[in-house]
């Protein structure tokens, strides 16, 4: 991946619950990509049905981290208008080949056609299938030790457009315990980045800390997810509260 690759260095925000206001604030703050955490968040299909077109109407891209490595979850996100899916808990190259195939139409994969939003509520053509396969992206999440070991083979799969790294689960499953952005954690992130770059495919990193963000910039991440909805809210509330307490202390109150 080089700096001339379209989308290099995009800034992402992570949402755990549906909120039009959060999307609008993120757009005002200069973010260009929204990640919806359906796996651990409070999204249902009704929320995705209005939120996905709303995000795209703001000129932002949207990646749905789907409920699990299942056909229905992957297809529903794409049918409702996601630019990309991130598929959690991919276990191996064989598993990746199967589940990532649900994001691509035959003969490349095994996605099923739905005549709804993405086909303008009409039928479809071979050109439309080719456009969908090229422009809707599939990112297996690398968060299991077995997927880490298979990374080169996973990246070589035609249905895989890049990888989405899951640092916390990867640390647990690589026997380092809770994720602390340790030297071992950063070494794993760097190894995955190098593998993706060698394959010429994008890689995505949730990077809350300066160390993670510096690695992401140095290794040419396609998308750096810089903050999450709850974390940003907590940081803002804590900062305002701390500033007021400082004023009160200085005033002797």
CB 239 within 8 A of CB 28: no
Q: For residue 40, indicate whether it is catalytic.
A: yes
Identified catalytic residue from 40, 70, 95, 222: 40
Bridge partners (DSSP) listed for residue 141: 164
Tell me how far apart the alpha carbons of residues 113 and 225 are, in angstroms, rounded to a whole number.
31
Residues with a known catalytic role: 40
């Amino acid at each position: 991946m080089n700096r001339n690759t379209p989308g290099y260095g995009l800034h992402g925000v992570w949402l755990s619950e549906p909120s039009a206001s959060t999307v609008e604030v993120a757009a005002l703050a200069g973010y260009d990509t929204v990640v919806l955490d359906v796996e651990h968040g409070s999204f249902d299909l009704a929320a995705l049905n209005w939120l996905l077109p709303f995000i795209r109407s703001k000129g932002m891209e949207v990646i749905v981290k789907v409920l699990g490595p299942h056909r229905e979850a992957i297809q529903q996100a794409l049918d409702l208008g996601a630019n990309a899916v991130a598929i959690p808990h991919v276990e191996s190259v064989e598993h990746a080949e199967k589940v990532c195939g649900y994001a691509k139409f035959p003969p490349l994969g095994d996605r099923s056609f739905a005549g709804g939003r993405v086909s303008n509520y009409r039928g479809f053509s071979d050109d439309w299938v080719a456009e969908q396969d090229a422009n809707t992206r599939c990112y297996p999440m690398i968060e299991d030790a077995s997927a880490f070991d298979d990374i080169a083979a996973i990246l070589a799969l035609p249905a895989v457009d890049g990888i989405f790294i899951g640092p916390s689960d990867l640390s647990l499953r690589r026997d380092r315990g809770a994720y602390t952005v340790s030297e071992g954690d950063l070494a794993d992130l760097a190894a995955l980045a190098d593998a993706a770059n060698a394959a010429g495919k994008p890689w995505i990193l949730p990077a809350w800390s300066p160390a993670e963000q510096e690695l992401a910039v140095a290794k040419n991440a396609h998308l750096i997810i810089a903050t999450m909805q709850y974390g940003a809210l907590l940081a803002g509330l804590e900062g305002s509260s701390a500033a007021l307490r400082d004023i009160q202390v200085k005033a002797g109150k």
